[in-house]
């Protein structure tokens, strides 16, 4: 497939999740997303109202993160975080699973945690971050199944704050695990056009990247 800049842009969640992000930087993120017609911006919950104002009348979606980046918040806290973010304008919620419960094989708790966020998010799309760098191959399968069973629309590779990010191998494996039951978002360490294409070719439908502008420059240069 010929991955043009336009096609790539339509898959990108333009991301700024640094603790040091300022309001001016968030506003710039929104402006860049409008200019390049990215699919969404992805920000910490505090900045959702700012994005809602900046992107009013735009087709760019607002995504936020829940239980981020460790996934170790209580389920009720995650659900309330999601509920409030959606009320303030978020249309997508990227939640981190309880990784400790996953490592212990307590998939009932993992599934219930995800389901509570799905319920609280109402009409918003939930993307479940399974943090692949910490999971075995079998655990990745179980995490993807838990996400699908709980009603998540996407399974997502990484927070970008763990020991590793997205790999084409993981994306391919996750997509094979869920088939058409959900979509895959690749995130973490995707810095170039070539990186993005590799993830999309492996089966990702969405790319989470803080390097969206660099990716677009690469895409234009590759034409």
Phi–psi pair at 78, nearest 5 degrees:
-60, -45
Q: What is the DSSP letter of 47?
A: G
CB-CB neighbours of 96 under 10 Å: 26
Q: Catalytic positions, please? A: 94, 185
Evaluated on CA atoms 191, 39, 149, 107, the torsion sign reads positive
Cβ-defined contacts of 50-53 (< 8 Å, 24+): 50/23, 50/26, 51/26, 51/89, 52/88, 52/89
Residue with tokens 């981190």: 96
d(CA 137, CA 125): 26
> What are the helix and strand counts (H, E) for the chain?
10, 8
């Amino acid at each position: 497939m010929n991955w043009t800049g336009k096609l790539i842009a339509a898959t990108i969640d333009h991301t700024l999740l640094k603790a040091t992000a300022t309001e001016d930087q968030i506003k710039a993120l929104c402006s860049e997303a409008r200019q390049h017609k990215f699919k969404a911006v992805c920000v910490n919950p505090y900045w959702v109202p700012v994005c809602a104002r900046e992107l009013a009348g735009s087709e760019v979606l607002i995504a936020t993160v829940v239980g981020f980046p460790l996934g170790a918040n209580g389920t009720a806290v995650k659900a309330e975080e999601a509920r409030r973010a959606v009320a303030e304008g978020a249309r997508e919620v990227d939640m981190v699973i309880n990784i400790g419960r996953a490592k212990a094989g307590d998939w009932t708790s993992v599934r219930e945690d995800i389901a509570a966020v799905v319920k609280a998010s109402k009409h918003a799309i939930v993307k479940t971050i399974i943090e692949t760098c910490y999971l075995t191959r079998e655990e990745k399968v179980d995490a993807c199944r838990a996400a699908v069973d709980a009603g998540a629309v996407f399974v997502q590779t990484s927070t970008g704050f763990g020991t590793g990010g997205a790999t084409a191998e993981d994306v391919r494996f996750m997509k094979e695990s869920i088939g058409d039951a959900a979509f895959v978002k690749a995130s973490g360490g995707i810095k170039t056009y070539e990186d993005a294409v590799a993830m999309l070719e492996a089966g990702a439908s969405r790319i989470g990247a803080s390097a969206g502008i660099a990716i677009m420059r690469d895409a234009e240069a590759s034409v």
